[in-house]
Structure 1
């Protein structure tokens, strides 16, 4: 039996021994959904230590009992590839998108059997998002990841994967009519998330703020953009992610131009965004800013 199967079998046996149904163990499904537990028990996915700790706490048993003498470890090389995946911006460039898609495929090929459910879920979210950016044809995020999407409205504190899912959902809202009350409720929760010591988390907060701002931009709802870009600038300053600042400045420019009709402020934002992008030496970002500036005739 594989590690996944051994741990899953042990969890099922301990749950049944304690008299818990899957539904009662998962409770409000804030930490673990019934479907996730079923996949774990069937040996289809490897639980993360966080989920194992939750299960052990509910069942009132030692974590070691659930591990059944097995260990869950991820090769260090995986985290190097994951870092590269998160830190490589595409800005919609086709070549960069293709390169990033290949990164995901390489990770799947090398580490699929070693990764717990959360990491595989993360890769699936990134893969779907990249596929949508490339083709525009993937199924709706709220349908593909139905269980996880429902959890978004039950949680107060989001994980990196929660933020990735919201980014994916917002990206799809940019190209179609969307449920304004639903997106608004997610936006409020995102704006309430605190800066973390986790570099991936902070990067993805910026990613989801950018994606939601993109919805308002594409639907010409310019007055909603500023609160998102303001939060972006706070996070950028506190986490030193200065490479994202030009993107926030472009959103500022759009807000000032179309919501406040202040051409001079919009011009200053574009000037600074372009200067920073040139200093960072990213030709794709520079090209995108120039294109947006031409669209706005500034």
Structure 2
């Protein structure tokens, strides 16, 4: 049997030994859904350490029992590739988007069989969002990830994958003629309450999802709703030292001042500072995007 099958079988044995149904083990499904547990027990997905710890706690057993002597250590090379994937900005550039898609394909090819479900879900969410940005044909986030999306509306504290799912949903809302304003407002309120973390990936995506939600309001002309988001974006940039993202935040601020407050001078100040910072960072794609946005705003 494979590692997935061995661990899955052991979890099922321990659950049945305790006389618990899958629904009882998953309780409110905030930590683990019934569908996820089924996949784990059938050996179709490898549980993360966090999920294993949850299962062990509910079953009142230890991790070593559930692991059944198996090792689920992830190779360091995978984390190096993951780091590159998260840290490589695309700014909507088609070549960079294609490169990120290729990065994910390379990771799948090398590590698909040994990655736990949480890591695979991270990659799947990123892959779907990239597909939508490049070809615009992926199914809606709330449909293909229905169980996870329902959890988003119930949770108060979000994981990395939760942020990625909200970001994917917001990206889709940007390009549609109409969107569910109540759902997006609920998700926005929850996102605004999320704190920065010691996890660099989490901080990158916290800023990313704030930007994506702001993008919805920008594309739909709801300029007055940008200020709360840009203020939080600036806080995240400062707290997590993501200084290379500051020009992008300033572009959103410029558009708020220009279209919501009709303050062209303040918008110009934002664009001037954004241009100076972008030039210092030396990212040609960022500079080109900034110039294009500035030109479209007539500043």
Equivalent residue for 2:63? 63
Determine whether 1:107 maps to 2:107. yes
Residue aligning to 2:286: 285
What is the correspondence of 1:210-225 to structure 2 with a 5 Å cutoff? Answer: 210-225=211-226
Match in the other structure for 2:21: 21
CA-to-partner distance for each residue in 1:197-219, whole Å, 9 max, x for gaps? 11111111000000000000000
Give, in whole Å, the separation in 1 of the partners of 2:10 and 2:125: 29
TM-score normalised to the size of structure 2?
0.99
CA distance in 1 between partners of 2:71 and 2:54 (Å): 17
Once residues 64 and 73 of structure 1 are traced to their aligned partners in structure 2, the CA distance between those partners, rounded to angstroms, is: 13
- Residue 162 of structure 2 is matched in structure 1 by 162
Give secondary structure in 2 for the equivalent of 1:152.
helix
Q: TM-score, normalised by structure 1?
A: 0.99
Aligned equivalent of 1:32 = 32
Residues 75-86 of structure 1: pairs in structure 2 closer than 5 A: 75-86=75-86
Distance in 2 between residues matched to 1:62 and 1:245, nearest whole Å: 45
Counterpart of 1:7?
7
Pairwise CA distance, 1:142: 0.6
Match of 2:181 in 1: 180
- In 2, the alpha carbon distance for the partners of 1:9 and 1:154 equals 30
Partner of 2:47: 47
> What CA distance in whole angstroms lies between the structure 2 residues aligned with 1:19 and 1:184?
42
Which whole-Å CA distance do the structure 2 matches of 1:273 and 1:50 have between them?
Answer: 40
Question: For residue 124 of structure 1, what is the aligned residue in structure 2?
Answer: 124
Q: Which runs of 4+ in 1 moved over 3 A?
A: none
Question: Which runs of 5 or more residues in structure 2 are unaligned?
Answer: none
Number of aligned positions between the proteins: 298
1:233 paired to 2:216 = no
Offset at residue 154 of structure 1 (A): 1.8
- SS for the counterpart of 1:113 is coil
Q: CA RMSD in A?
A: 0.6
Cα displacement (A) at 1:156: 1.4
Q: What is the Cα deviation at residue 61 of structure 1?
A: 1.1
Cα distance in 1 between the residues matched to 2:197 and 2:136: 32
Q: 2:200 matched to which residue of 1?
A: 199
Q: Name the CA distance, whole Å, in 2 between partners of 1:272 and 1:216.
A: 23
- Deviation for aligned residue 1:80: 0.3
Task: Give the deviation of 1:275 after TM superposition.
Answer: 1.0
Q: Does 1:258 align with 2:259?
A: yes
Distance in 2, Cα, partners of 1:275 & 1:136: 33
Report deviation, 1:118: 0.3
Post-superposition shift, 1:274? 1.1
Unaligned runs of 5+ in 1: none
